[in-house]
Amino acid sequence: MNSHDPPRKLTIRLPLWYHQPAQKPAAGWASVLYSKERYIAEPEFRVNEAIRVPDVRLIGPTGENLGVVPTRQALQIARDADMDLVEVSPTAEPPVCRVLDLGKFLYEREKKEREAKKAQTKIEIKEIRLRPKTNSAHRGFKVDDARRWLNQGHKVRVTIRFRGREMDYPEIALEDLKEIAQALSDVSVIEQPPMMEGRTMLVVLGPGKSAKKKVAVQAESAEGAAVEG
């Protein structure tokens, strides 16, 4: 370099991202980063200072009924117990509030709701497969399976598969399906009348009123256990 040339400036080309302002985390990451804050800040009921009514019916930290007290007093009781004031029955007059640990309460509530969902029966379509003129003993076992599934709230598809020249006598299979539907009529209803699909004749049975009632009672019992907590 010539001694008369002006000094050159040393520069380093920075990557493009260096000049860009910081961005918020993607939606998925934001839900992870802020899940704890959202979990506490967005409950399904009002908490602490969000309770605006002048008076509440208060249930204390050990479950005792403290009667109707001013909301300010209820908040102070919650603070003294190092807990939260939670409005558990907003439609009551006055609203009912409990002094409790909100984080623990929400955790236990979510846990019981998960258990209740597991206890609920998922409706599935079961199937029993027969042949024309299946012997009565074998068919009886199949019908017993269908009865058990219907009582559990499932649907049952009864199919009869034809082979060879059996297709020439569909009335035999139709009569079998009618007899099975009649045997299960006390716990089922016919949702899909007998029909042909290729070389198969089928009928679909759904749970009857008695079976649906039994399943509904089981589901309500499971939900009730989750709400009581």
Question: Does pTM surpass 0.85?
Answer: no
Q: Looking at residue 124, what is its pLDDT?
A: 79
Q: Looking at residue 40, what is its pLDDT?
A: 37
Contacts of 223 (CB under 8 A, 6+ apart): 116
Q: Which helix (H) or strand (E) holds 175?
A: helix 170-183
Q: Looking at residue 123, what is its pLDDT?
A: 67
**Sequence ranges of the domains in the chain:** 25-103, 125-214
Q: Looking at residue 3, what is its pLDDT?
A: 54
Output Rg (C-alpha) for the chain, integer angstroms: 34
Q: Looking at residue 159, what is its pLDDT?
A: 95
Closest by CA to 158, choosing from 141, 175, 137, 180, is 180
Q: Do 125-214 and 25-103 have the same topology in CATH? A: no
Strand duo 96-100 + 55-59: pairing: parallel
**Residues with pLDDT less than 50, the chain:** 9-12, 14-42, 226-227
The arrangement of secondary structure in 125-214, i.e. its CATH architecture, is 2-Layer Sandwich (3.30)
Strand order from edge to edge, sheet including 65-70: 65-70, 55-59, 96-100, 84-89
Q: Looking at residue 6, what is its pLDDT?
A: 56
Q: Looking at residue 178, what is its pLDDT?
A: 92
Q: Looking at residue 219, what is its pLDDT?
A: 58
User: Does residue 94 have a cis peptide bond before it, meaning omega lies within 30 degrees of 0?
Assistant: yes
Q: Looking at residue 213, what is its pLDDT?
A: 67
Q: Looking at residue 221, what is its pLDDT?
A: 58
Q: What is the CATH number of domain 25-103?
A: 3.10.20.80
Q: Looking at residue 209, what is its pLDDT?
A: 81
Neighbours of 76 (CB within 10 A): 13
